[in-house]
Structure 1
């Protein structure tokens, strides 16, 4: 098979799968509520004891307080990502703030917060 035809088939297949996923709603960001955020956190870290969950107004991120500190949960497509807040930098961002993890698997995430939420989350994220 000529390379040009193979290239068209591969690109067309990838585009078709992407379109199908988008049309079936699989590309929407996961919406978090306090209950779903708690469930998702326990899916990632089943041995943690959750004290409190604070969900961002947009529903795409949650700050989870656990016995050993705090953690951040955020939507990543139809799934979620969770990280303990152990070794990170918090940087002000026009849309909220950016959390830079010192971990190659999750380098950074921008959390969308209004001014009131930003102050509250900043207070909750401070080490004890």
Structure 2
């Protein structure tokens, strides 16, 4: 088979799969509610006892307070990522905060917050 035809088939196949996934809703970001945030946190950290859940208005990030400390849960495509808030920096951003973890395997994340949420989350994220 000529390389040109093979290239068209591969590119067309990948494009078709992408369009199909998008049209069936599989490319939608995970929207968090307090109950879903609890369930997702328990999936990541089954031994943690959750004391409180605060979900951002955009439903993409949740601040989880457990008996052992606070943690952050955020949407990452159709799944979630959860990290305990240990050894991190938060940087003010026009849209909210950017949290940078001091862990090579953990990405930084941007939390989109309005002005009222920003003050509340800053208070909740301060170390005890």
TM-score range, shorter chain: over 0.9
What is the CA distance between 1:6 and its match in structure 2?
2.0
Cα RMSD of the aligned pairs, angstroms, is 1.0
Partner of 1:48: 48
Runs of 4+ in 1 over 4 A off after TM superposition: none
What is the CA distance between 1:76 and its match in structure 2?
1.1
What is the CA distance between 1:105 and its match in structure 2?
2.1
What is the CA distance between 1:5 and its match in structure 2?
2.1
Partner of 1:4: 4
Partner of 1:66: 66
Unaligned runs of 5+ in 2: none
Q: Determine the C-alpha separation between the residues in 1 that align with 2:104 and 2:21.
A: 28
With structure 1 as the length reference, what TM-score do the two structures score? 0.95
- Tell me if 1:90 matches 2:90: yes
The count of corresponding residues between Structure 1 and Structure 2 is 128
With structure 2 as the length reference, what TM-score do the two structures score? 0.95
**Cα deviation 1:16-40 (Å, max 9, x = unaligned):** 1111111001111111110010000
**Cα deviation 1:64-105 (Å, max 9, x = unaligned):** 001111100011111111111111110011111100111222
